[in-house]
Structure 1
Amino acid sequence: MTTSGRLRALEQLDRALLRVTSRDDTSPARARQLRWVAGELRRAVVREGFPEGAGSSLAALFSAEPLTAYLDLASRGELRTRAVAGSGRSTVASIRVRIDCLEILARAGEVPAELPERPAMQELKTPVGARQRSLLQGWLEAAADRPGADPGRVRLFALVGVVLDTGARAGELCALELADLGPDLDTVTVVRKPQARSVAPPATEVHELSGHTRSALRHWLDVREDLVREVQGGAKSLWVSVRGNHAGVLDAEGQARLRPPGMPLMPRGLARAYTRTVVQVNADMVGRPGWEPLPYRLEQLRRAVEPHPTEVSTPAAPPVPAKKRTRRAPVRTT
């Protein structure tokens, strides 16, 4: 196929991507996933051996043969832009995310998507048990409740308390603002973002906070006030950075420019802070009777609790036109 023929599908793909990522109900995390999948599709279309005619239109690109070919290439790691350690094969979870994004892009482009069945998820890892959660909170409290305590430990003590009271995900935690806290720190309002294939609008939940969490939040808010004092315009985010970090750009002298402390905490920064602390906790607890090492991912801590919000509100979702869909054989992954 000629370059101009391929461009028709890619131009329509770009318009669909812009349409869906500019909507208010598309989260930043989902927008990144959609851009990632669109980028892989662009690379797949121009590969030698990709199904003939797939680039003639978005409808042709989203037909069964091109989508199966794309997902097969993606599952083997052949559409990556940089090398990774190991085999490079995609996980089942990433294939499921790709299929979700393809469905969203097809809906935004008003074309049917002949998608395969989503592969079954692997068994989830065991969540953190009650004893381990209690020991983690005790360790954090001892590290945070002392003069000159490390601001990162103070922040994490409060953050873990909010996780155990609400079951919030990393992205939902980072989206919290000061205005989401109740006047006496007795509640927090969390906006739940739909995941996977869900097209339901976000749900707003109000959760009661435990006494330990309220005390930890009071301590963190005192520390936070000092951190944001020099940030121009102040910061609305509940969780902010505790030290400067690289902004990813160079100044006039070629030196990496630093973001000051007090900037909004991002999901990656949150995950790194949690992992660093767990490494230290596991080292300190070695040999203690009954101790089992904590997992290094916040997700396993979050799944250990079943929160019960006191109030839930969900805005009505706009009607979504039905699209004809053909079921195909599942993509093989390992």
Structure 2
Amino acid sequence: MAEMVERSRRVASVRVLERRVDALAAAGEVSASRARQLRMVVGMWDLALGAWPKGAPRPGRAVASLFEESALRAFWGLAVAGRLRSRGDGTVRPLAAPTRRVVRDCLGILADVVVPGRDVWLPEVQQPRPKATVPPGQLAVLYRRLVDMASDAPVEGGGMSLSPEDRVRLLAMMAVVLDTGARSGELESMRLPDLAAGESRLLVRRVPQNGDHLAYEEVCELREGTGVAVRRWLRVRRRLVAPLEGAAPDALWVSLRPNQWQPEPGFPLKAQGIQKAYGRGAVALNGLMAGRSGWVPLPTTLEQVRRAVALPDGPGAAAPAPPVGA
């Protein structure tokens, strides 16, 4: 999502709107991610009022006037055209569909706060059709094949290759996802103390994609095969972080090789790096295993696997898992 330009908050209605968002965040009524999105939309309102389309009825000083249908339609037209954000190079691009959904949802939240009970106009945003997931009946087959891949030989296929370290990390990560349904951001937040002794349980910090739902923690049971895969990865991980100067990172998933940002391997993987690592590994494994009996081709995005895993209905109240070695 493009970075918003600096806002002046000169208009009284926008200043009031900003204070309402601050109050929601302070009271814990929205998650931190949703609060950031709401502040982004407040900034978009500030920009919109400085570039209001000619001929459109202009909102008054009262904050409620921002949620009149004529004002919302004018705001939406500017937002969709990309005129309420800046990419830093002066270019203007239409708002992407995911960002449109975020802005639309934020407008609804703000309307409920500013004009509670009023039926306000909100734009319709088409929901994309999700990519196909692994059929539930094939998840067990996929899991068995993954945890059985114990060879240290490089995995090659699809014009790509996986080193032994790549393979060990990928299989451990996949097994964890199949047991927990963790998103890439939730994988990024995993730490060594989140693993119970024997790698039988793992604390997952759930960050629901719907920003209306607050983050929560859940202790997930790991199957025996997942524990085996994770222990193999922990041995590789120890070798990677050992040469680092200072305190070694406690992130569960770390890099395997240097990159343009980090001169050494062993640094914590970010969500984007986790997604890329999975994608490369899935292509290589599918190329290698194509046509083999019982092999279920891996989806090419981690999200497709995650959505195939049944998740619990709501926040759990479990305490953090005991640390490794406890």
* Contact kept in structure 2, 1:180 and 1:188, CA below 8 Å: yes
> Which residue pairs with 2:246 in the alignment?
232
Quick one: distance in 2 between partners of 1:80 and 1:237? 34
Does residue 1:128 correspond to 2:141, yes or no?
Answer: no
Does residue 1:210 correspond to 2:255, yes or no?
Answer: no
Give how far 1:192 is off: 2.0
* Contact kept in structure 2, 1:205 and 1:312, CA below 8 Å: yes
Q: TM-score, normalised by structure 2?
A: 0.70
Alignment of 1:259-298 (within 5 A): 260-286=264-290, 294-298=298-302
Does residue 1:196 correspond to 2:214, yes or no?
Answer: no
Change beyond 3 A, Cα 1:49–1:100: same
Give how far 1:303 is off: 1.1
Quick one: distance in 1 between partners of 2:166 and 2:201? 23
Q: TM-score, normalised by structure 1?
A: 0.69
Change beyond 3 A, Cα 1:264–1:118: farther
> Which residue pairs with 1:44 in the alignment?
48
Give how far 1:98 is off: 1.7
Change beyond 3 A, Cα 1:265–1:89: same
> Which residue pairs with 1:154 in the alignment?
168
Give how far 1:197 is off: 5.8
Quick one: distance in 2 between partners of 1:19 and 1:232? 40
Give how far 1:246 is off: 3.4
Q: Which runs of 5+ in 1 are unaligned?
A: 248-257, 316-334
Quick one: distance in 2 between partners of 1:54 and 1:240? 51
Letter aligned with residue 112 of structure 1:
V
Quick one: distance in 2 between partners of 1:270 and 1:95? 26
* Contact kept in structure 1, 2:141 and 2:296, CA below 8 Å: no
Q: Which runs of 5+ in 2 are unaligned?
A: 1-6, 155-162, 320-326
Change beyond 3 A, Cα 1:266–1:67: farther
Letter aligned with residue 317 of structure 2:
S
Letter aligned with residue 225 of structure 1:
R
> Which residue pairs with 2:323 in the alignment?
none
| Identical pairs, percent | 36
Residues paired across the two proteins, number? 294
Alignment of 1:1-334 (within 5 A): 6-12=10-16, 29-30=33-34, 33-34=37-38, 36-49=40-53, 51=56, 53-54=58-59, 56=61, 58-79=63-84, 81-82=86-87, 88=94, 90-91=96-97, 93-103=98-108, 111-112=114-115, 114=120, 116=122, 119=125, 121-129=127-135, 130-131=137-138, 134-135=141-142, 138=145, 142=149, 145-146=151-152, 149-196=163-210, 198-199=212-213, 201-229=214-242, 230=244, 232-247=246-261, 258=262, 260-286=264-290, 294-307=298-311, 312-313=316-317
Give how far 1:121 is off: 2.7
* Contact kept in structure 2, 1:188 and 1:209, CA below 8 Å: yes
